[in-house]
Amino acid sequence: MSDSDDKIRKQAEKLLKDGLKTEVFPRAYTQEQIQDVLTRIRQSDGSLEQRLIIGGFTLYPIEDEDIEQACETCMYYLVHRRYCELPELDVPVEAEWSCRLWRI
């Protein structure tokens, strides 16, 4: 675990705890929805804040369509690093966090 991961993870947690309004719904399920979210992230200023907002991050799992969606069950989650390796997000996370790009 790197110091900088820790630092960024804490920044993200603080932004979300302080009430940053993120686009939790709709979740991105279809290719079109996924591409729309990814394109908007690429076209944003790329800041941590914009990635959290457009990605629809939460500090807790979201249940949608009877599925509990958390980073720990997502294909983009790197367990040992506690990291999201989806290139557009590229952010340290916690196992219980969630975003609308969740994929099994």
Contact call for residue 98 and ligand SF4 (CB under 6 A) = yes
Applying CB under 6 A, among 54, 74, 82, 92 the residue interacting with ligand SF4 is 74
Say whether residue 37 binds ligand SF4 (CB under 6 A): no
Structure tokens at 24: 């939790």
Taking alpha carbons only, the member of 41, 42, 43, 52 closest to residue 14 is: 52
d(CA 52, CA 33): 17
In this structure, what are the phi and psi dihedrals at residue 76, rounded to the nearest 5 degrees? -95, 0
Residue choice 37, 38, 89, 92 for contact with ligand SF4 (CB under 6 A): 89
In the complex, which residues of this chain contact ligand SF4 (CB under 6 A)?
71, 74, 76-77, 84, 86, 89, 93, 97-99, 101-102
